[in-house]
Amino acid sequence: MEYKSTRGNIRVTSIKALIEGLAADGGLLVPVEFPKVELNLKEFMNKNYNELAFFILKNYFNDFDENTLLNCIIKAYDDKFDTKEIAPLVKKDKFYFIELFHGKTLAFKDMALSLFPHLLKEAKLKENIKKEIVILTATSGDTGKAALEAFKDIEGVKIIVFYPSKGVSNIQKLQMITQEGENTYVFGINGNFDDAQRAVKEIFSDVQFNEKIAKRGYVLSSANSINIGRLFPQIVYYFYAYINLLKMGEISEDEYINIVVPTGNFGNILAAYYAKKMGLKVKKLICASNKNNVLYDFLREGVYDARRNFYTTISPSMDILVSSNLERFLYDACGEDEEIIRNIMKDLKELGYFSLPENYRDSLKDFYANFADDDETYFEIRWAFLNLGYLIDPHTAVALNVYKKYQKDTGDDTKTIIASTASPYKFVSSVYKAITLKEPYADEFKLSEELSKLTNTSIPKQIIELKNKRILHNDVIDKEEIYNVINDLLKGD
Ligand SMILES: *Cc1c(COP(=O)(O)O)cnc(C)c1O
C-alpha cells in the first residue's frame, strides 16, 4: 500500500509515512486506494479485538510482514486495557456507547497510541534508520499524555509535547507534568491548541531545520492524527462496534447504522468515514462540536471560516478551530484534486477561511453536524446519569446532545453508536458540577472520591496514583518560543 500527499505528487510507502508523519510538501498522507473489506460477519462474531484489528490493518500496513504486524497488535491491545473487550459497546436504554477510554491514559487516544510505537519501532528497523526519532506533539489535552506514556523510555526516541497551559483540565495537566521517563519533554504554552499545532506543522515542513537536525542525528515524526499510525488504528473499533451490535442481536446483517463522534481535529470521525468507505454499513456520520462550532458551519454551508472567537469550554479536547484532518476528507470530496487542496489550504492560511467549490459539496451529505454549548453539556451529563444511570464525560455529553438534536431534526431512528471518548474522572470538576449542581472545590482528588460515592462508580487507578506523583515538567513558554525550545533540545552533542 502506497500513500500520497493531498497537496502534490509525493508518494511513499506506509513505513516511510509512519516515520515522516506529514508529507514533505505540507500535505497529509492518504492511501493511494481504499481497500474494500468483505466482513464475513459470522466468522468475525467469534473473533476478538486483536483479530479484527489485524484483518483491517493489514490492508494499510502491508509493507510489514504479517507476523510482525500481528505481534505489534498483540503487544498493543493487552492488559494495559482494563477490559478484555478493549472497546466495549454499552447499551443504555436506546443508546449505544462505544467506550474508547479503557487504556492507560483514560481517553480514546490510547486506542491508536498503544499500537503506534510498536509500528514505528518496526518501521525504523526496516528502514535501517540510525537517527533518533523525535516525536513532536501538539495536544488539546489527551494526545499528549497518551503519546508520552506510549513512548516513554523507548530507545532511539525522544518525545516533546506542547499543551495549552490554560486550556486543559487539571487532571489532564497533572497527567502530563508528572510524566516520568528519560526521553520525555513537556511544555505548557501561552496560547491555544491551534497555535501549538500550527507551530509544530511549520517545523515539519521547514526543510532547512530538518536538514540541520538530520546532521545532528535526529529525524522528526508526529503522534498527532496527521500520522497514519494514529489514524488508521481508529477505524478498527467502528467495525468492532458494528459486530457487537450484531452479536447482541440489536441489528440484522447488512442493517445500516449511524455513528456520532465528538469532534475536534476531525481525526476520530474521519476514521469512521474511512470505515464507511471500506464498506461498513453507515448511513449518517454525525459530527458533534462544542461552542467552537466551525465544523458545524462548514458541513452545512461549505464555507470553513476560522476567523471567529476561540472559546475555552468544558470539553477542552475539542477546543480547536483549525481541524487538520479535514484536509483528508476535502481531498476525497474534490475527487483527489491536489491543486484544489493547495488553493484551499493557501486561502485558509492567508485569509483565515476557504470555500469548497459548489460542485464538490455532494459528499458533505454523508454528514449531519450540530453543536452543544457548555450549559447543554452539563445538562446532558446530568440527564444521562438520572435517566440512564450512566456517568459520561463532557465530550461524550456533547455527542449525546447532538444525537438528540439529530433525532429531533430528522426523526431517523436508525440504530446509532455514540463514541464515548474519555473517562468522566478525567474531567471531574465539570462532571461533579453537572451531577450535584454545586460549584466544585479545588481538590480534584477529593471531588473524585465524592463523585465516586454519589454515583457508585469507581475511580480509575490512574487517577488515584496521580496524587502521589512528583511534578517534573514546570516550563510554560510563549508560542513564539516553540522553535527555539526544540532547537535547543536537539543541540548536537
Ligand atoms: C481528542 C478528543 C476528541 C476529539 O477527537 P478528534 O479526533 O480530534 O476529532 C474528543 N474527545 C476527547 C475526549 C478527546 O480526547
> Which CATH number fits the domain that encloses residue 239?
3.40.50.1100
For residue 452, being part of any structural domain is answered with yes
Output the pLDDT for position 43.
84
Residues 137 and 200 sit within 8 Å (Cβ to Cβ): yes
Distances (CA, A) of 150 to 113, 118, 128, 342, 475: 6, 9, 22, 33, 22
Q: For the residues 243-250, what does the mean pLDDT come to?
A: 95
Please check the confidence at residue 53 and state whether its pLDDT lies above 60. yes
Place 290 in a pLDDT band, splitting at 50, 70 and 90: very high
CA 395 to ligand 1: nearest atom = 11
327: part of which helix (H) or strand (E)?
A: helix 326-333
For residue 261, being part of any structural domain is answered with yes
Please check the confidence at residue 491 and state whether its pLDDT lies above 90. no
Q: What is the DSSP string of 113-153?
A: HTTHHHHHHHHHHHTT--SEEEEEEE-SSHHHHHHHHHHTT
For residue 486, being part of any structural domain is answered with no
For residue 121, being part of any structural domain is answered with no
For residue 491, being part of any structural domain is answered with no
Structural domain boundaries enclosing 389: 89-105+231-460
Output the pLDDT for position 38.
82
Residues 398 and 262 sit within 8 Å (Cβ to Cβ): yes
pLDDT tens track for 444-461: 999 999 999 999 999 999
Distances (CA, A) of 382 to 288, 307, 314, 391: 18, 33, 14, 8
Residue identified by cell 510538501 is 25
pLDDT tens track for 56-102: 999 999 999 999 999 999 999 999 999 999 999 999 999 999 999 99
Output the pLDDT for position 244.
96
The number of domains in the chain is 1
Please check the confidence at residue 151 and state whether its pLDDT lies above 60. yes
Output the pLDDT for position 267.
97
Q: Residue of the nearest CA to atom 2 in ligand 1?
A: 317
Distance CA 291, CA 288 (A): 10
Please check the confidence at residue 55 and state whether its pLDDT lies above 70. yes
Q: Is the CB of 21 under 6 A from ligand 1?
A: no
pLDDT tens track for 332-367: 999 999 999 999 999 999 999 999 999 999 999 999
Ligand 1 centroid vs 218 CA: distance in angstroms? 29
224: Cα within 13 Å, side-chain hemisphere: 32
Please check the confidence at residue 143 and state whether its pLDDT lies above 90. yes
Q: Which amino acid is at 440?
A: P
Q: For the residues 154-172, what does the mean pLDDT come to?
A: 94
For residue 213, being part of any structural domain is answered with no
Please check the confidence at residue 41 and state whether its pLDDT lies above 80. no
Place 44 in a pLDDT band, splitting at 50, 70 and 90: confident
Please check the confidence at residue 492 and state whether its pLDDT lies above 70. no
Ligand 1 centroid vs 318 CA: distance in angstroms? 6
The 10 Å CB-count burial string (b at 16+, else e) for 121-137 is bbbbebeeeeebbbbbb
Active site residues: 109
For residue 431, being part of any structural domain is answered with yes
Output the pLDDT for position 234.
98
Q: Is the CB of 263 under 6 A from ligand 1?
A: yes
Ligand 1 centroid vs 320 CA: distance in angstroms? 10
Share of the chain above pLDDT 70, in %: 100
Q: Is the CB of 267 under 6 A from ligand 1?
A: yes
Cell of 181: 521517563
Q: What is the DSSP string of 214-239?
A: HHTTEEEEE-STTSHHHHGGGTHHHH
Output the pLDDT for position 232.
97
Cell of 89: 459497546
Please check the confidence at residue 493 and state whether its pLDDT lies above 60. no
Q: Is the CB of 142 under 6 A from ligand 1?
A: yes
Place 478 in a pLDDT band, splitting at 50, 70 and 90: very high
Average pLDDT, the chain: 96
Distances (CA, A) of 483 to 10, 193, 345, 477: 26, 16, 22, 11
CB atoms within 10 A of CB 13: 17
H helix count then E strand count, the chain: 22, 16
For residue 194, being part of any structural domain is answered with no
Place 29 in a pLDDT band, splitting at 50, 70 and 90: very high
Q: For the residues 100-119, what does the mean pLDDT come to?
A: 97
163: part of which helix (H) or strand (E)?
A: strand 157-164
Ligand 1 centroid vs 493 CA: distance in angstroms? 38
Percent helix, strand, coil in the chain (nearest 5)? 45, 15, 35
